[in-house]
């Protein structure tokens, strides 16, 4: 890297550091507190900034709703109770403590179910790796109660889907998008595999090399399997993806959903700090081989700018050299809203898909593939006879325009 490039990177680092501290300055107090508390570490400077925001007219209901929608309620509640309990209304203190207790109990229940299913899958000799959910709570946050999640994710090979579905059905789960017969392993007809067990209200999602379609090419599960790491959680141990692979999977998942929820950014921020031995060069190298370097750069940029994740200098410098990811990240920061379900119109989605890939042409191919690959929602919105199902790929662009609209609706969020 030349001297001029180094100087430019240093200037960019300083600019991003300043923007991360001033990001909330253009927002209301509730939004500032939401951003400041969506983390496990609290500096004295940050605590002083938050304390100055907690006033008599603070809208606690708006903050509570936004924290839940963004999936960071456990973080927000724990930080507020730990550092500012004396200035929080008593009724909200009680409510926050109750939320934390309920989250801890629910997460422990789901963790036990994850262990049970993982053992069942392993007994059948399947590659079925649990990830996200309770595993990420332990990996990134070091506390099972600090991450809000509602389902259990398992990564497995497409060929094993029918057997895994049969195991789930024996255990009381019902397929949401239809049965997975034996031929589903080699000739898939579903874009999602989701199962629900009414008892306990448990949702299980199976992700395969086919359903993980937001990667430019099919994931190499053989390579991923060789890099599995043992995670200790709730008194037990289970195999899951390595920290580097987890970071990449989370980056692609966040980009898939346009980083609409703060929880996904918090996951990146916490994971980048929780594992001192994370091999950054290896993470960047794997992302490049998978064709998702920009997705990783964008994830790290957002974690640093929005949540002040203290990335190593050389990592941040590498991220900032990707100007396209910084531009995408700035756009996400600007449209960040207390409402985690803001609708993104179709052409904005298309532009993001194209720009989020490592090159323009790769992005264009990626966007066009997604725009013509029907999902389960498309099948529900446009039911067609079996003989005409091939028409659905041409209907999908129309369905997308109808679903997301052309223009962004005006926000009613209080400024």
pLDDT of residue 409: 56
Residue 412 confidence (pLDDT): 46
- What's residue 9's pLDDT? 41
**Per-residue pLDDT at 17:** 43
- Grade residue 192 by pLDDT with cuts at 50, 70 and 90: very high
* Confidence (pLDDT) at 410: 56
Comparing CA positions, the residue from 234, 232, 200, 202 lying closest to residue 108 is 234
Lowest-confidence segment of 18-32, 117-131, 157-171, 222-236 by average pLDDT: 18-32
293-307 helix and 243-256 helix, angle to the nearest 10 degrees = 80
**Is residue 290 within 8 Å of 216, Cβ to Cβ?**
yes
Tell me, what's the pLDDT at 296? 98
The pLDDT of residue 408: 64
Query: Cα angle at 17 between 16 and 19, to 5 degrees?
Result: 60
Residue 141 has pLDDT above 70, yes or no: yes
- Among 87-101, 307-321, 332-346, the least confident range: 332-346
More confident residue, 379 or 169: 169
Give the whole-angstrom CA distance, residue 51 versus residue 184. 55
At 358-395, the pLDDT tens digits run 999 999 999 999 888 888 888 888 787 776 767 878 88
Cβ partners under 8 Å of residue 4, min gap 6: none
183-197, 324-338, 390-404: segment of lowest average pLDDT: 390-404
The predicted pLDDT at position 189 comes to 87
Task: Report pLDDT for 64.
Answer: 96
> Which of 389 and 228 is assigned the larger pLDDT?
228
| Mean pLDDT, rounded, for 136-159 | 94
pLDDT above 60: residue 25: no
* pLDDT tier for residue 414 given thresholds of 50, 70 and 90: very low
Percentage of the chain lying above the pLDDT 70 cut: 91
Helical spans, DSSP H, in 124-160: 133-136
Predicted pLDDT at 121: 96
Please list the residues that pair with 197 across neighbouring strands: 202
User: How many percent of the chain have pLDDT more than 90?
Assistant: 75
Contacts of 126 (CB under 8 A, 6+ apart): 156, 157, 160, 163, 164
pLDDT value at 4 more than 60: no
For 211-315, list the strands marked E by DSSP: 229-233, 236-240
What CA–CA distance (Å, rounded) separates 13 from 312? 11
With 80 as the cut, is the pLDDT of residue 355 above it?
Answer: yes
d(CA 336, CA 355): 19
375: region left, alpha or beta (phi > 0 left; psi from -120 to 50 alpha): beta
HSE-CB of 265 using CA atoms within 13 angstroms: 27
Least confident range from 20-29, 137-146, 356-365: namely 20-29
Angle 142-148-150 from CA coordinates, rounded to 5° = 125
The predicted pLDDT at position 12 comes to: 46
Instruction: Round to whole Å and give the CA distance between 344 and 349.
Output: 6
- In three-state secondary structure terms, 208 is coil
**Joined tokens for residue 237:** 């141990």
Per-residue confidence at 11, pLDDT binned at 50, 70, 90? very low
Q: What is the total residue count of the chain?
A: 415
Mean pLDDT of 142-148: 93
Instruction: Give the confidence band of 13 by pLDDT, cuts at 50, 70, 90.
Output: very low
Residue 153 β-bridge partners: 131, 205
3-state secondary structure of 411: coil
- Read off the pLDDT of residues 261-281 as tens digits, 9 standing for 90 and up: 999 999 999 999 987 778 999
- What is the rounded average pLDDT of the residues 69-92? 96
Q: Which of 147, 150, 151, 135 is nearest to 75 (CA)?
A: 147
The region of weakest confidence among 62-66, 78-82, 347-351, 383-387 is: 383-387
The pLDDT of residue 267: 97
pLDDT at 406: 80
Say what the pTM is.
0.89
């Amino acid at each position: 890297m030349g001297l001029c490039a180094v100087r430019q990177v240093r200037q960019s680092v300083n600019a991003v550091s300043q923007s991360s501290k001033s990001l909330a300055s253009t927002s209301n107090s509730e939004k500032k507190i939401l951003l400041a508390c969506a983390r496990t570490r609290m500096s004295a400077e940050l605590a002083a900034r938050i304390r100055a925001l907690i006033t008599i007219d603070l809208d606690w209901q708006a903050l509570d709703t936004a924290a839940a929608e963004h999936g960071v309620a456990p973080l927000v509640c724990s930080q507020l109770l730990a550092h500012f309990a004396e200035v929080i209304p008593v009724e909200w203190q009680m409510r926050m403590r109750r939320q934390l207790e309920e989250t801890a109990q629910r997460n422990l229940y789901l963790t036990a179910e994850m262990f049970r299913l993982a053992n069942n899958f392993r007994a059948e000799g399947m590659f079925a790796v649990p990830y996200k959910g309770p595993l990420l709570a332990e990996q990134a946050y070091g506390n099972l109660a600090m991450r809000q999640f509602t389902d259990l994710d398992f990564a497995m090979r497409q060929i094993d889907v029918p057997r895994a579905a049969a195991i789930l059905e024996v255990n009381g789960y019902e397929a949401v998008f239809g049965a997975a017969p034996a031929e589903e392993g080699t000739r898939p007809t579903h874009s999602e595999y989701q199962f629900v067990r009414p008892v306990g209200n448990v949702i299980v999602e199976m992700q395969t090399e086919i359903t993980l379609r937001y990667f430019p090419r099919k994931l190499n599960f053989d390579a991923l399997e060789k890099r599995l790491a043992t995670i200790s959680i709730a008194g037990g141990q289970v195999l899951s993806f390595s920290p580097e692979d987890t970071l990449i999977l989370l980056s692609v998942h966040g980009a898939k959903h346009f980083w609409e929820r703060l929880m996904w950014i918090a996951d990146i921020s916490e994971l980048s700090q929780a594992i001192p031995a994370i091999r950054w060069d290896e993470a960047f190298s794997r992302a490049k081989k998978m064709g998702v370097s920009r997705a990783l750069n964008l994830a790290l940029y957002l974690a640093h700018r929005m949540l002040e994740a203290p990335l190593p200098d050389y990592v941040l410098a590498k991220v900032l050299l990707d100007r396209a990811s910084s531009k995408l990240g700035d756009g996400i920061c600007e449209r960040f809203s207390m409402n985690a379900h803001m609708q993104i119109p179709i052409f904005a989605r298309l532009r993001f898909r194209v720009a989020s890939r490592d090159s323009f042409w790769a992005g264009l191919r990626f966007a066009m593939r997604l725009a013509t690959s029907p999902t389960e929602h498309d099948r529900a919105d446009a039911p067609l006879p079996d003989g005409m199902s091939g028409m659905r790929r041409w209907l999908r662009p129309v369905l997308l325009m109808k679903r997301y609209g052309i223009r962004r609706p005006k926000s009613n969020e209080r400024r």
